[in-house]
Amino acid sequence: MRILSGVQSSGQLHLGNYYGAIRQFVKLQDEGEALYFIANLHALTSLRDPVLARKYTFEIALAFLALGVDPRRATLFRHSDIPEVTELYWILGTVVPVSNLESAHSYRDKLENQKIQHPEFGLMAYPVLMAADILLYDTDVVPVGKDQVQHLEFARDWATKFNIAYSPGYDPAKKDSGGLLKLPTARVQAETAVVPGTNGGKMSKSQNNTITLFGTDKEVEKAIKGIKTDSAAVESPKPTENAPLYDLLKLMAPPGEWAAIDAEWKAGGKGYGHFKGKLIESYHATFDGPRKVYAELAANPDEVEKILQAGAQKAREYAAPVIKRVRAAVGL
Ligand code: ADP
Ligand code: TRP
């Protein structure tokens, strides 16, 4: 089984990225051939600062490694080190209906949330590059968050269109009828499908509601203390609906402590400050290990660069037969 996923290097990673994506990547690296990459070409659709672009790319690499992606078991690489991917992106684009791109959820959401009046081609074409990212390696499984599921459906649809156009005898109704491009499957982690942010909405770097994974202690504690709560009195039981603090505690409390915290929450007698203290403790219990590794790696950029170079070489080996097939099929 070949597993592939990527994370955009467009800002600081937060809890949503860990519980919604990276935690799964770490688990999956033992279940097949895993390829993980830093999507720095995608990041260019929202980032126009070359110094920051480089900084975030490096930070995502550190984060992958610190959170448990093991370069001996998984292939870790930078998007921009794989020229084959932009080639496939172009070729695939020749079978992509523009109407799919215009109506894509993530595209429509971005236009609306960020009040973009005159969108650029790159933003709209993003799902085509993402499909190329996946199809280039004969990927079987793509672990992603719920918001990415439509992109996976596009990848399957366009691969099917490509196969119909270019694979003699291909029949989309038949399984394993030997198309040039392999159809991937999304894997969404159900129990943590959406991690809430400090204001109760989906945690997202564009919403200013994140708790970061590798910010300073002070930043993290400030974010946790700012989690929105209602006006329930200290002595009353606390509601469990629309309560981001409760949801985050459930996610992060050490397994042996959750039952007691849950009981305290429902019993009343403790204020929200107490529970925020518990969340800060749980955060440190979970992430202090990775945070230490992150700092050590940050002090050894050459070592990280070596890992990325070796990863890119391996990824290009996986890509070589696919791009060769595709070039031959279309007549290049
Ligand atoms: P952001 O919304 O902060 O821009 P990205 O879109 O870069 O985050 O997401 C990277 C990965 O992390 C994706 O797989 C996405 O589904 C996952 N992810 C991001 N935020 C959350 C969240 N709040 N809950 C669950 N998963 C999330
Ligand atoms: N679009 C994904 C996100 O925003 C990141 C990504 C880019 C990706 N290419 C990918 C994820 C390929 C999985 C497979 O989270």
Is 65's C-beta closer than 6 angstroms to any atom of ligand 1? no
pLDDT value at 223 more than 90: yes
Q: Which ligand is nearest to the CA of 130?
A: 2
Query: For the domain that residue 73 is a member of, what is the CATH number?
Result: 3.40.50.620
- The average pLDDT across 148-168 equals 96
My answer on whether 276 and 134 are in the same domain is no
My answer on whether 44 and 159 are in the same domain is yes
Distance 282 CA to ligand 1 centre (A): 21
pLDDT at position 311, please?
98
Instruction: Look at ligand 2, atom 13, and give the residue with the nearest C-alpha.
Output: 5
**Tens-digit pLDDT profile for residues 183-192:** 999 998 776 6
282 domain residue, yes or no: yes
CB count in 10 Å sphere of residue 301:
12
Cα 122 from Cα 148, distance rounded (Å): 17
pLDDT at position 147, please?
85
Distance 132 CA to ligand 2 centre (A): 11
61-75, 102-116, 119-133: the lowest-pLDDT one: 102-116
What residues are labeled active site?
Answer: 110, 202, 205
134-148, 165-179, 222-236: the lowest-pLDDT one: 165-179
Q: Where do we find the tokens 């050459």?
A: 302
Our mutation pick for probing the ligand 1 site, out of 204, 205, 208, 251, counting the most ligand atoms within 8 A of Cβ, is 204
274 domain residue, yes or no: yes
Share of the chain above pLDDT 90, in %: 92
Query: For the domain that residue 246 is a member of, what is the CATH number?
Result: 1.10.240.10
- The average pLDDT across 326-331 equals 98
Bridge partners (DSSP) of residue 185 are: 141
My answer on whether 154 and 238 are in the same domain is no
My answer on whether 8 and 127 are in the same domain is yes
* Structural domain range at position 275: 215-295
Distance 148 CA to ligand 2 centre (A): 7
Question: Of 12-26, 129-143, 164-178, which has the strongest mean pLDDT?
Answer: 129-143
73-77, 254-258, 301-305: the lowest-pLDDT one: 254-258
My answer on whether 125 and 258 are in the same domain is no
My answer on whether 189 and 97 are in the same domain is yes
pLDDT value at 266 more than 90: yes
pLDDT at position 188, please?
87
CA end-to-end span of the chain: 30
210 domain residue, yes or no: no
105 domain residue, yes or no: yes
Is 43's C-beta closer than 6 angstroms to any atom of ligand 1? no
My answer on whether 129 and 42 are in the same domain is yes
- The average pLDDT across 54-72 equals 98
Atom of ligand 1 nearest to the CA of 197: 23
Is 144's C-beta closer than 6 angstroms to any atom of ligand 1? yes
151 domain residue, yes or no: yes
My answer on whether 92 and 171 are in the same domain is yes
Instruction: Look at ligand 2, atom 9, and give the residue with the nearest C-alpha.
Output: 130
pLDDT at position 193, please?
64
My answer on whether 307 and 290 are in the same domain is no
pLDDT at position 86, please?
98
pLDDT value at 228 more than 90: yes
* Contacts within 8 Å (CB) and 24+ apart, 146-150: 146/20, 146/188, 146/193, 146/194, 147/105, 147/106, 148/106, 148/186, 149/186, 149/188, 150/104, 150/105, 150/106
pLDDT value at 155 more than 80: yes
pLDDT at position 178, please?
81
Name the band, by pLDDT with cuts 50, 70 and 90, for residue 106. Answer: very high
205 domain residue, yes or no: no
| Average per-residue pLDDT for the chain | 95
pLDDT at position 20, please?
87
Instruction: Look at ligand 2, atom 15, and give the residue with the nearest C-alpha.
Output: 7
Q: Which ligand is nearest to the CA of 193?
A: 1
pLDDT at position 176, please?
72
My answer on whether 323 and 280 are in the same domain is no
For the chain, how many structural domains are there in total? 2
My answer on whether 310 and 178 are in the same domain is yes
My answer on whether 272 and 310 are in the same domain is no
